[in-house]
Structures are given as C-alpha cells and as structure tokens.
Structure 1
Amino acid sequence: MVAENMQRMEKQDEEFKPVFENALKKAATTALVGAYETTTSTLMVFFLAMVLYPDIQKRAQAVIDSVIGKNQLPTFEDRASLPYIDAVLRETLRWQPIAPLGAPHATSSADVYNDYFIPKGATVMSNTWAISRDEKRYPDACIFMPERFLDVNGALTDDDPAKYIFGLGRRRCPGQYTADASVWAAIVTMLATLDISSAKDDNGKVINFTPRFTTGLERHPVPFPCNISTRPHIHSELLDVVRTAV
C-alpha cells in the first residue's frame, strides 16, 4: 500500500505532496496498529487449537500434501483448491473470538428493537461471543470442529464467521480482507512446514494444561506449553522461502 501510493505521489504537484504524505502516514500507521494485536492473537488461537486437536492438524496437512505436494509451498492461487484450510480459518475465528463483544458503536438515531427502546447516542455492543457459541447454529460449540463449515461434498458452506467477527454494518473492520489474507497465508504455510504438538517434560510425558485467556475487549491465550518443529520432509530451500516471505 505504501509503495504504490508513494509512486502515485510522484505524479502529484509539489504543493499537494505534503497532504498526501501525511494521509499516507496515518493510513499506514492505522493499518499496522489495527493488525498487530489482532493478527497475533488469532494465530495464537490457531496454535492452541492445533495442540488440543492434533487430528485436525494431521487432516489439514494431509489435504495440503495431496493438493500441493511436499516440494513447494501453497500460494494464494491454491486457496480455492484447499477448502478445508479455509474451514480451519473460519473455525479459528469462531472458536475463540478475540473480540468477544466486538467494538462499541453509537446509535445515530433512536430506535426500537424487540420492544426495547434504544435512545440516540446510546453505546451498542454486538455480542460476538454469543453468536459464535449459539448451540442451535453451532452444535458442540466449545469444540474446535472445522467440518461444521463444509457440506457433504467437502465444499465451503455459506456460513462464514467473518461476517460477524469483523463487526457489523458500515462500521465493520476496514482491514477485514487484508486480515483474512494474512491469517490464511500464515496458517497454510505453518501447516505445510511445521508440526505443532504438546510439550513433554524431561521424562517424555505430555505436559497437560488448562487453556487460559486474557480479559478485556481484546483477548488471546496466555502462553501455554507446546512443541514446534519442522515437518520431516521440509528441506532447507523451502525454509529459505519461508524466511524470505516473513
């Protein structure tokens, strides 16, 4: 975004360049600040899910290996061929929403909803947690189950948690599509290259733990024990590609 707009600025009259430069700085800063905590928290939820549900990780890796192979990394062009990975992403967003009460909004005019009067200027919160844990919509909602977003043919359903996780209405997160692409790229790359498993003590016994989360408008898992290693077939050339991308 910054590079493209810098190129556009070169074509502008000198008198307008400071205005565009100032706007670009603010936009870039907003994008960075808005994505830093939320993206990190979402990926921490993903890591936690992979530790607690190893069979999901194995299935996702098997799907990637069968579609992409083991000698190259997935790209955005492969996304349509990997619906199960998108299902993992959707379940990551739904299972432990990082903004359980969404972002506060204010009503622009008075309204009545289900016989409740809502005055103009009232602060309104969308209960994302309640939506994501609705047992009628998501049976066994506390369980990480990507298959709930796939139909009998293995295709993605129309139920996408991004429709409420990123907010509602005109004031929903403007970085939704960037965040979606970023998290998908991180998840599919880590699944293709890493094995994420439970940590073990010096005697080789699995270290059991109870997941805990921070509190507040934004939440994420507190540090938990886990083991991260490269998958056996990953060679140095592929790791170089990952480091370059990062």
Structure 2
Amino acid sequence: MTFALAMVLYPEVQRRAQAEIDSVVGEDRLPTFEDRSSLPYVESVLRETFRWHPILPNGVPHATLTDDIFDGYFIPKGATVRCNIWGISRDENRYPEASSFIPERFIDANNALTDDDPARYVFGFGRRGCPGRHAADASLWSAIVTMLATVEFSPAKDDQGKAIEFTPRFTTGLTHSPMVFPCNISARSRSHLQLVNVFRTEA
C-alpha cells in the first residue's frame, strides 16, 4: 500500500523505475530474482518504501534482563526498551527532505547502490531482529518489480475527468500504514496484460 501510494504521488519515480526494467528485462517476460542486481533503481525504490513510512515506527518493545550501561546511560533491569525507527527514518541529517519519497538518496553518482539500507533497521536489530526479514524483503521486491513491470499507477479521476485530489492518511497505533486512497491501476500495454495472464495460467 505504501509503494502504491508513492507511485500515485510521485509518477516520475514510477517512470524511471519502469524504464530501467524495460531496458534490462524487456517486455516479453516478467522480472526474476536473477535480474535484481541489474536493477539498482528498483532496489532504491524498495529501500525508500521501507524508509518513507515504516510499518512499525516505534519497533517492537523489549525488556532488559539485567542492568546495563549503554553510551553512558544506565538502563535498569526490567526496563522497556524501544527503537525509534521513525526517528531514524526522519533524520534530516541522514535523509534530507525526509518526508518526500526520493529513491535517488540510495544511489551514488555512479548509479550504484549506497551502503545505506533501511532494511537494517526497519526489521529490528541484532539477535532480536525479525527472523522473517529476508523472506519479507524478497517478497516485497518481487511484488514491487512485478507491479512496476506490468501496471501503471495513476490518480483516480472524477466524472469530469479531473484527477481527484486527496491528502494521504495513515493508521495510528502500533502499526503505521496508508488508509484507503483513490487511485487508478491499469495495464501498461496489451503485451504487459498478456504477460500477467500467462503468469496466472502457469501459476
């Protein structure tokens, strides 16, 4: 949902990602995991999706088993410890214009990915990190690259053909995700529609 919202709000990102896919994959097949290393901009879109609106902005609470001192701070046994993932993702020193969806922040001047990967913090840290992180990362990449390859996200239009303006809203509480928003999803072309239909038949 966050990715779809970003594609509606930032069409130039969608166009650049689709151009990369078309140049690497072509239009006669769907992208596969073997293509992943050849699609750095798509990878940066995934990273920015993780960073832009993390689903667990305050992480999962944990409790200390013993007294501890970290970076000069005393943390008593039994204290509840949370990771401020939202604060990390909104650090303007690290991510200028942090409220904007800018995948280019993860690509250097040579069009190579930087070492900054939000998956390293949005899934938790160390031994308490999400055990399903790699499966989730692969699943989301597959979904995002397939949607980019086959469909077009655009603003929904009213009866007069004008784009429906809206202000994105998000759920509040432990989890953070977009609430329903108006949009249009259509096949990029007849050949792309056939690719989806072939995939459905084979699946």
Q: TM-score, normalised by structure 2?
A: 0.96
Q: Could you tell me which amino acid in structure 2 is paired with residue 232 of structure 1? A: S
Q: Which residue of 1 aligns with 2:136?
A: 179
Aligned match for 1:166, one of 108, 114, 123: 123
Instruction: Flag structure 1 segments of 5+ consecutive residues without an equivalent.
Output: 1-43
AA matched with 1:215: T
> Within the alignment, does 1:157 sit opposite 2:84 as a pair?
no
Q: Do the aligned residues in 2 keep the contact of 1:196 with 1:228 (CA within 8 Å)? A: yes
Select which of 230, 235, 238 maps to 2:187. Answer: 230
Distance (whole Å) between structure 2 residues aligned to residue 241 and residue 123 of structure 1? 51
The answer as to whether partners of 1:198 and 1:227 remain within 8 angstroms in 2 is yes
Change (3 A) 1:135 1:107: same
The equivalent residue for 2:178 is 221
Q: Which of 8, 16, 21 is the aligned partner of 1:59?
A: 16
Is 2:89 aligned against 1:136? no
Q: Separation in 2 of the partners of 1:108 and 1:85? A: 41
Matching residue of 1:70: 27
For the pair shown, which has the larger CA radius of gyration, 1 or 2?
1
- Check conservation: 1:53, 1:144, Cα contact below 8 A: yes
Which residue does 1:24 correspond to in 2? none
Q: Which of 18, 31, 51 is residue 94 of structure 1 equivalent to? A: 51
| Change beyond 3 A, Cα 1:241–1:181 | farther
SS of match in other structure, 1:112: strand
Structure 1 distance, partners of 2:191, 2:25, is: 14
Q: Secondary structure at the match of 2:197?
A: helix
Measured in 2, the distance between the counterparts of 1:76 and 1:245 equals: 18
- Per-residue deviation, residues 55-98 of structure 1 (Å, max 9, x unmatched): 00000000000111011110000001001111000000000111
CA distance in 2, matches of 1:57, 1:132: 22
In the alignment, the residues of structure 1 paired with residue 202 and residue 89 of structure 2 have an alpha-carbon distance, to the nearest angstrom, of 32
Q: 1 or 2, which has the higher helix percentage? A: 1
8 Å Cα contact 1:70-1:233 kept in structure 2: no
Mapped partners of 1:245, 1:164: distance in 2: 37
What TM-score do the two structures reach when normalised by structure 1? 0.80
Which residue is equivalent to 1:195? 152
Partners of 2:18 and 2:193 in 1: how far apart?
A: 19
Question: For residues 55 and 235 of structure 1, do their structure 2 counterparts lie closer, same or farther at Cα, with a shift above 3 Å needed?
Answer: closer
Aligned residues: 203
Aligned to 1:196, the other structure's residue is in SS state: strand
User: 1:146 aligns to what?
Assistant: 103
Q: Given the superposition, is the C-alpha separation of residues 244 and 217 from structure 1 closer, same or farther in structure 2, using an over 3 Å criterion? A: farther
Identity of aligned residues (%): 66
The equivalent position to 1:104 in structure 2, one of 27, 47, 61, is 61
Residue in structure 1 matched with residue 167 of structure 2 by the alignment: 210
Structure 2: which 5+ runs fail to align? none
Instruction: List per-residue Cα deviations over 1:159-180 (Å, max 9, x = no partner).
Output: 0000000001201000000000
Q: Relative to 1, partners in 2 of residues 1:137 and 1:194: Cα closer, same or farther, differing over 3 Å?
A: same
Once the two structures are superposed, the pairs formed by residues 22-61 of structure 1 within 5 Å of their partners are 44-61=1-18
